[in-house]
Structure 1
Amino acid sequence: MQNNIVKSYLPRHLNKLRWLVLASIFAMLVLLPFLHLYQTYVAAHAYDLLFPHEKMIYDSMEWLTSPFVSDAEHELDAIKGTTWSGNLFGLQVSDPLAVLSQISASISVYWPFLLTALIPLVVTLVLGRVFCGWICPATFIYELNDTLAGWLRRAGVPLGDREFDKRTKYLVLAAGLLLSMLLGSIMTAAIYPPAIIGRELYYAIAQGGFGVGAVFFILTILFDLLVARRGFCRYVCPGGALYSLLGRYRLLRIQRVVSACNDCKKCNVTCEFGLDPLHDGFGQECNNCTACIAVCPTDALEFKLALKDGPYQGPGHLGHDYRREQQIKSES
């Protein structure tokens, strides 16, 4: 019995862990530009010449990092970059879209850079589209935006909920790579929210202003709010397109336990990507965010290792439709 309690308790609370991970990554992206400024101040050896707000940054970062590093000028290089591409204690990791875009722009393969995408590729093939659901800093903001949309709807504010062809994002990905090839510049980074957020946070903190990317990102938020729920991720994002293609072959999948399902539809309502867990409709768009698992009142959704999604299993055995079917069978 204890094993059953643990088995049902842990998956239900994975969504809280996911939010903690998302918040931590976003906080790290905010912290990194401050660490870069602190390194610059330390290297300049001119504390007395700093402006008051610069001294505040220096003192704060010194207090934060002194327990971990003794030579801030060099040792803080252990953590650099963003979710687009970065260095984590000597481990070079890059978004597969960054590598694919670089190959397209240069029309050549730089093998050391290609290898930096190996870990994300393997993780995606095993765990699925988890970058989108668990790591992407834009997801943190988009889900807060979706929560705001829910409040506005309850207040009677009309919001957009249109649906488009999900294949559109694959055209965006192809067009971005083609333009990168023709122009010799990485064009996908201009419309890829994780890259935009990392860039704009650096501009705002280290250089005192935002770039045009901030305007584009605000437009994606308004698109999600006024036109289509999570519309940018579902229909436009080039990274979402690439991870969806890779996620099609994932090993870890959410599947419905039909014997425990009561057909309440809460899983479908909570899914921001418009998937259909109630009818076993997950597919390659699923990012294993566990929101459907968290909201299920009967623990009818769980992770399983499988090479592909199973077919529709019929109505849930705890629901009215199944009971009606069984009653008709017993009477006939």
Structure 2
Amino acid sequence: MEFITNPFVGNDPANDLDAIKGTTWSGVFFDFKLSDPLAGLGQFVASLSLYQPLLIAIAVPVVLTVLLGRFYCGWICPATFLYELNTNIRLLLKRLGFKTNNQHISRSLKYYVLALGLLLSAFFSTIFVASVYPPAIIGREIFYLIALGGFGSGLVFFTLTLLFDLLVARRGFCRYLCPGGALYSLLGRYRLLRIQRKVDQCNDCAKCNAVCEFGLDPLRDDFGQECNNCTACIAICPTDALTFKVQIKDAPNQGPGHLGKIYLRNLEKQSH
């Protein structure tokens, strides 16, 4: 621990280390408190009361989610890094000849998981959702490893989510079961920052659909509240046909891309 903390402390380790502390879903940064909205919601439901400091701590993430959408899932969640690595393992297994399923389950299932978790939190007066929420699990397991020299049962659950993604459904836990993903999707439903297709530059190659780990349909302008603005589709597009726009709704289906075969064929027929 001295080796890890040495770069961040001066002559007063106790106070210096106290300036930045927390877990992977709540923390303090030089007296500025931040917390995952699910942590706040779980606490409110479990205690059946509003704790003002926690309400303030979740204010910034809530406002950012309302403006930017499910960005936490795409850019900050510590589990996302591991799930993306898991996707690479999934592709490797497929190339080696192992069967990897990609079952399609109703995306609404995670909203039921969220509702059930909150009901259990209220009934047992504990933040039940924290036991199945990957960012909270990772924080606890890191603490157990450093402080106690081992892991808890959360590691077993998290490993099962990795296996679910690997063998049952691509990014299945995030898409179908994660209570935090459900909450962020609801908060970001009417986000202002959205990815939109520039139909005049689209060649209908469908690489955007192939790279989207959440099974969305950028090729036909179908992003919806599930989109986490991860920009994978923007990065893969060979004609720069995807970009960010400020608007509260996705554009309706704009039809075939103007550089694609279908549009050019129809244009040729009209000319004749």
Give TM-score, length-normalised by structure 1.
Answer: 0.80
- State the partner residue of 1:80: 21
Q: CA separation in 1, counterparts of 2:237 and 2:21?
A: 39
1:270 positional shift: 0.3
Identify which of 93, 105, 113 aligns with 2:54.
Answer: 113
- State the partner residue of 1:89: 30
Aligned length in residues? 272
Q: CA separation in 2, counterparts of 1:63 and 1:78?
A: 14
- State the partner residue of 1:61: 4
1:251 positional shift: 0.5
- State the partner residue of 1:192: 133
- State the partner residue of 1:71: 12
1:20-70 CA-partner distances (Å, limit 9, x unpaired): xxxxxxxxxxxxxx4xxxxxxxxxxxxxxxxxxxxxxx2x2364234xx32
1:62-106 CA-partner distances (Å, limit 9, x unpaired): 64234xx32111221111112311101111001000000001100
Relative to its length, the structure with more helix (as a share) is 1
1:83–1:94 Cα contact (<8 Å) kept: no
- State the partner residue of 2:179: 238
Q: CA separation in 2, counterparts of 1:181 and 1:325?
A: 58
Deviation >3 Å, runs of 4+: none
Residues 313, 210 of structure 1: alpha-carbon distance in 2 compared, 3 angstrom cutoff? same
- State the partner residue of 1:314: 255
1:142–1:230 Cα contact (<8 Å) kept: yes
Which SS does the other structure have where 1:303 is aligned?
A: strand
- State the partner residue of 2:80: 139
Identify which of 144, 152, 158 aligns with 1:211.
Answer: 152
Q: CA separation in 2, counterparts of 1:153 and 1:61?
A: 39
Q: CA separation in 2, counterparts of 1:164 and 1:115?
A: 36
Return 5+ residue gaps in structure 1 as ranges. Answer: 1-33, 35-57
Sequence identity percentage? 61
- State the partner residue of 1:41: none
Give TM-score, length-normalised by structure 2.
Answer: 0.98
Find out whether 1:171 has 2:112 as its counterpart. yes
Identify which of 74, 91, 109 aligns with 1:150.
Answer: 91
Which SS does the other structure have where 2:196 is aligned?
A: strand
Find out whether 1:99 has 2:65 as its counterpart. no
Find out whether 1:227 has 2:168 as its counterpart. yes
Q: CA separation in 2, counterparts of 1:62 and 1:248?
A: 40
2:71–2:228 Cα contact (<8 Å) kept: yes
Return 5+ residue gaps in structure 2 as ranges. Answer: none
Which SS does the other structure have where 2:254 is aligned?
A: coil
Q: CA separation in 2, counterparts of 1:63 and 1:94?
A: 26
Q: Which has the larger radius of gyration?
A: 1
Q: CA separation in 2, counterparts of 1:284 and 1:65?
A: 39
RMSD (CA atoms): 1.0
1:35-46 equivalences in 2 (<5 Å): none
